[in-house]
Structure 1
Amino acid sequence: MNTSIAINYLKKFFHSLPEVWYIMLFAILAHSNIHILFNGGNWHSGNTFTTLFCVAIIALLIIQLLKRNVWSRFLLGMLFTFGSLFMFFALLSEYSEFPLGTEASALQLLVAGSLFIGISFLLGGQNAAERVA
Structure 2
Amino acid sequence: MRPKRKSPTVLSAVAAILGQTTWARAEAVERPTISAIILSISPRTVRWATVHELPDPGEDDPYYHVEVIEKERHTPPWQFKRLATHVVVTADALNRSRSRQKARTYFYKDIEFRIAYQNWRAQPLPQREAGVCRTTILECVGIAGKPD
Interval of TM-score (by shorter of Structure 1 and Structure 2): under 0.3
Normalising to structure 2: TM-score of the pair?
0.22
Which one has more relative contact order, counting CA pairs under 8 Å at least 6 apart? 1
More helix by share: 1
Structure with bigger strand share is 2
Task: Determine which structure has more spread, i.e. the larger CA radius of gyration.
Answer: 2
Q: TM-score, normalising length from structure 1?
A: 0.24
